[in-house]
Amino acid sequence: MLIQLLTIHPAIVAPVFRESILGRANEAGIIDLRVVNIRDHALSKHQQTDDYPYGGGAGLLMKPEPVFAAVRWAAGRGPAGARPPRIILMDPQGRRFDQRLAEELAQEDHLILVCGRYEGFDERIRALATDEISIGDYVLMGGELAALVVVEAVARLIPGVLGDLESSVAESHTSGLLEGPQYTRPVEFEGMRVPEILLSGNHGAIERWRREQALRRTLERRPDLLETADLTPAERALVAE
C-alpha cells in the first residue's frame, strides 16, 4: 500500500515515518509511506499556500490551486495496477475515525491524506476528496497529527507491518470489545500479583479468562460497544444480568 501524506509542514511528519514499527515497515517495503510538500506545488513566486477569506473573518484558508496540484501529482504516482486512490481530507467536520474505518482503509492500494492548516480548506478543495475524516470532536492546529493517527491505525492492519512480537488480533476494538488486563514480569510488584490463571499454563482456561475479562472491562467502561459486539448467546445473557 502507498500512503502519501500531503502537508505544508513535512518536518512534523517525516521523523514518524522513519522510526519504530512504521520506519521498519517502510524501510522493508511492506508499506510505502511518503510525505508530499504541498508548497512544492504552489506556482506563485512566494509559494503561497494560504490566503484571506472572502467576506472577511479571522484567519487564513488553504488555497485551492496548490492542493489540487499536489493531489493530482500524488494520484498519478499510485502503484502499478492499483485501484484509484482514496483522497482523504483531514477535517474536524468529517466522518469520525474508528477501527471499522481503519479496517476499511487497510483494504485499499493507495491513500492520499491531505492535511489542512490555518482556518482550514477553501470549500472548493472538498470537491477533490473521496472522504473527509475527523479523529474526534475537538479542533487541532493542523491535520498532521490527525493524519498520523490514521496512518498508524491503518498500517498496523497491513500484513507484515507488525512483527511476531506485536499483534493486532486481540486488541481493544478489533474484536468489538476492549482488551482485558495484561501483565508482564515480575509476578509480584508492590504487593500486586499476576492472576494465578495466567501462570497456570492452561491455554484453554487462559483464553476463557481473557474473554471474560474483556467482557467485564467493556461492560464497565464502554457498555455501548456491547450492542454491536459479536457475542455468544451465553455471553449476551451474562452481560444482561
Q: How many amino acids of this chain bind ligand SAM (CB under 6 A)?
A: 20
Tell me the closest approach of the beta carbon of residue 6 to ligand SAM, in angstroms: 10
Please count the other Cβ atoms lying within 10 Å of the Cβ belonging to residue 105. Answer: 23
Pick the piece of the chain touching ligand SAM (CB under 6 A) from 25-33, 84-92, 163-171, 190-198.
84-92
Q: Which H helix or E strand runs over 207?
A: helix 203-221
140 in a known ligand binding site: yes
Q: Is 136 one of the annotated binding-site residues? A: yes
Among 2, 63, 92, 178, binds ligand SAM (CB under 6 A): 92
Residue nearest to ligand SAM (CB): 116
Per-residue x/- track, 100-129, ligand SAM (CB under 6 A):
---------------xxx-xxx--------
Q: Which is nearer to ligand SAM, 54 or 165 (CB)?
A: 54
Cell numbers found for residue 228: 454491536
How many Cβ atoms are within 10 Å of 213's Cβ, its own excluded? Answer: 18
230 is in an annotated binding site: no
Which residue type is seen at 192? M
Specify the residue, 123 or 227, whose C-beta has the smaller distance to ligand SAM: 123
Sites for ligand SAM among residues 131-160 (CB under 6 A): 134-136, 138-143, 146
Closest contact distance (angstroms) between CB of 157 and ligand SAM is: 20
Does 54 bind ligand SAM (CB under 6 A)? Our answer is: no
Q: Which three cell numbers stand for residue 150?
A: 490514521
Do the annotations mark residue 137 as ligand-binding? yes
Closest to ligand SAM by CB, 96 vs 208, is 96
Which residue do the cell numbers 504541498 mark?
Answer: 38
| Residue showing cell 450492542 | 227
- The 8 Å CB, 24+ separation contacts for 52-61 are 53/119, 57/119, 58/119, 59/118, 59/119, 60/118, 60/119, 61/118, 61/119, 61/120, 61/121, 61/122
Q: How many Cα atoms within 13 Å fall on the side-chain side of residue 116?
A: 27
201 is in an annotated binding site: no
Q: What sign does the CA torsion over 157, 173, 231, 162 have?
A: positive
Residues of each annotated binding site: 116, 135-140
Given the rule CB under 6 A, which residues bind ligand SAM?
90-93, 115-117, 119-121, 134-136, 138-143, 146
